[in-house]
Amino acid sequence: MAPLLLEVRGLSRRFGAAVALAPLDLAIEAGEFFALLGGSGSGKSTLLRLIAGLEAPDGGSLLLEGRDITRDPPWARPIHMMFQSYALFPHMSVAENIGYGLRRAGVRGAEQARRIDEVLALVRLKGFGARRPHQISGGQKQRVALARSLVMRPKLLLLDEPLAALDAGLREQTGFELRALQRATGAAFVMVTHDQGEALALADRIAVLEGGRLMQVGAPADVYARPASAFVARFLGAANVVEAAHLSLSPAEPGAAAYALRPERIRLTPNGATTGANAIAGHVRDVAFRGDATLFVVALDGGGELRVMVPADDPMPIMGERVALAWDADDLVPLAA
């Protein structure tokens, strides 16, 4: 296990009567790509701003490499942040923007110029140094904002929705670039995102937040395969949450009140017969073509519905057709209440 970089101990934040962040513990390892995933109001951005020092916590502490930085102002923390709006200084050129932190740190002259050139090459913006922020595209602004933080060689870089302001076409490629930059610099990246696909694709580990509480932390594959709660199961990919009382289930791990059942784990047979447990009949209510697969919403005979993902090459039922559904016992992932 990599050495501990940042330790969040019981950190909490209220806004008036509203709890933005309930006391929360979290550990970020050196050199990892960590994603804070959640919807709006989940507390993910508050947590990021607390780590950056832009807001003060109501309780708890922050330890960077074992040193307590809870009371340090943002300008004294060796942590840098890329803002969602990028927050580039409009009255400065790209090079002046990138050199801003270096000048505050007393890095001047040839050394400053060398480091600006180095990071401009890293984000593929060589020759853009003299431009003003309003003269470059959104994707280029994003890379300038990234360069402005990276030039400080932080051990911990915070990214607030780094891909949200980009066009859909640019997002995937920029995501891969982000990942490559993170590996190249060896810095730990902590990214806030509301997009579960982004978090699963980029991060080494993800933390799912909801209502100011930490719901689950783990590697993307683990959290995806074994969601700890109904919320996480739904949030991470629209899994079916089935209640044991409602369906005749025969799970590998009995005893839970509810189970997650992934749409791609369910076998669908048109006009098929159902036998025994872990099988049920119904009819197709909705169809959504997804390219590599097709999503069916099946209304069950006993009430309720299940989402089923059928790979492109399999036989497809039509709307309203009767279908049989079946799954394996160990596809039922027990959920905490």
Q: Which of 5, 6, 81, 208 binds other proteins (CB under 8 A)?
A: 81
3-state secondary structure of 75: helix
Instruction: Provide, rounded to whole angstroms, the least separation between the CB of residue 172 and other proteins.
Output: 26
Instruction: Provide, rounded to whole angstroms, the least separation between the CB of residue 188 and other proteins.
Output: 16
Q: Restricting to residues 149-188, name those near other proteins by CB under 8 A.
A: 149, 152
Q: Rounded to whole angstroms, how far apart are CA atoms 100 and 102? A: 5
Can you give the length of the chain in residues?
337
Is residue 148 at the binding interface for other proteins, with CB under 8 A as the rule? Answer: yes
3-state secondary structure of 275: coil
Is residue 52 at the binding interface for other proteins, with CB under 8 A as the rule? Answer: yes
Q: Which of 19, 54, 201, 293 binds other proteins (CB under 8 A)?
A: 54
Site pattern 4..43 for other proteins (x: CB under 8 A): ----------------------------------------
Q: Which of 89, 130, 173, 314 binds other proteins (CB under 8 A)?
A: 89
Q: Rounded to whole angstroms, how far apart are CA atoms 111 and 87? A: 25
- Mention every residue, 6+ apart, whose C-beta is less than 8 A from residue 114: none
Residue type, 27: A
3-state secondary structure of 297: strand
Order the strands of the 79-82 sheet from edge to edge.
79-82, 156-160, 188-193, 33-37, 205-210, 213-218
Instruction: Provide, rounded to whole angstroms, the least separation between the CB of residue 142 and other proteins.
Output: 14
Report the interface residues with other proteins, using CB under 8 A.
Answer: 52-54, 73-75, 80-81, 83, 85, 87-91, 100-101, 104-105, 148-149, 152
